[in-house]
Amino acid sequence: MDDSLLTLNRVTKIFQIGTFLSKVKIYAVRDVTLTIEKKPMVFTLVGESGSGKTTLANVLLRVVAPTEGSVSFLGRKIESYKKSEFIRLVQPVFQNPYETFNPLKKVELYFRSVINKLSIVNHNGHAAEKIIDQALSSVALTWEEVRGKYLHEFSGGQLQRLSIARALMVNPTLLVADEPVSMLDASLRVFVLNLFRKLKEEKQLYVVYITHDLATAYYISDRIAVMLRGSVVEMGPAEKVLLNPLHPYTALLKESVPNPYKKQGESRFEEREEQILEIEEYAGEGCKFALRCPHAKEICRREIPADVFLDDVLVKCWLYK
């Protein structure tokens, strides 16, 4: 019996662009296999823009279907769930809270709509308000602060907390949070990140956190998967992956984090302009980091590396084969 919360088995998502006569295949996600155990945690997908993080999140949310592979949640294929059943279990938190709410509607209407659509209570006004207030209290807001107000009457941080509160109303098992703090200032980022940690501990909630920011990933994550051009190149406990990276790409991401104590120009990597131009056009079958990697071998340009496990860390790199 499958005792995992979420299992992705060789998930691939291909988009085709171009005309009918000349179509190009783009691998947004390629052969991703990972498992999230039944132990409340924050599992982070991290990588640069275009690495496939958001596409993978959309696969988890059933916004798009994988071209190949399968996704199982609580032992069942996600496509087997009815829509109403699935949204009770899995809820999204989006990057831009200003796009979550219509500025012409009172924010409270969104909370009442969730109750009515999912029949959480039988149209009892007081019971509905109690459920809304409980969800709001989870994110340090009250019903009195929200009732009767419109979008423009809230700050960005409040709106993001409202987005999270709306997601919590159905008591989900999993939150999929796509860059939820990237539009907030530093103090509000810490507040929202602490909120995710609190929800994990108090509500036994699972969070898939998607970000390009290694600092917030290190702060909040239990486990982490590093994505590069659609593939997971390193995955394991957050401290092991981020403090002692095995894959050269993860090491580069770590080097790119601003460090006031590092001398200017001090880096293990030399990024030459021609390398950057080449990597953007590189569509070979080998490692997608081969043209920027200082350790690249001939085989790196020819063949995709196999997965290697070293002390609970998966790394996709020929250095360890």
What tens digit of pLDDT does each residue of 226-258 get?
999 999 999 999 999 999 999 999 999 888 776
Compute the mean pLDDT over every residue in the chain, rounded to the nearest whole number: 85
Q: What is the pLDDT of residue 321?
A: 75
Beta-carbon contacts of 39 under 8 Å, excluding residues fewer than 6 positions away, are none
Q: What is the pLDDT of residue 130?
A: 82
Which residues make up the CATH 3.40.50.300 domain(s) of the chain?
4-244
Whether residue 73 contacts residue 5, with contact meaning beta carbons closer than 8 Å, is answered with yes
**What tokens appear for 19 in the block?**
């005309």
Cα 298 to its chain centre, rounded Å, is 33
With a cut of 50, say whether residue 223 has pLDDT above it: yes
What phi-psi label fits residue 21: left (phi over 0), alpha (psi between -120 and 50 degrees) or beta? Answer: alpha
Token pair 């009442």: residue = 112
Whether residue 98 contacts residue 156, with contact meaning beta carbons closer than 8 Å, is answered with yes
Beta-carbon contacts of 242 under 8 Å, excluding residues fewer than 6 positions away, are 214, 217, 218, 224, 250, 254
* Range 268-278 average pLDDT: 43
Q: What is the pLDDT of residue 269?
A: 46
Instruction: State how far the Cα of 239 lies from the Cα of 237, in Å rounded to an integer.
Output: 6
Cα→Cα distances 283→26, 35, 278, Å? 10, 28, 10
With a cut of 90, say whether residue 292 has pLDDT above it: no
Q: Does domain 4-244 have CATH number 3.40.50.300?
A: yes
- Determine how β-strand 68-73 pairs with β-strand 76-77: antiparallel
Q: What is the pLDDT of residue 96?
A: 85
What tens digit of pLDDT does each residue of 33-80 get?
999 999 999 999 999 888 999 999 999 999 999 999 999 999 999 999
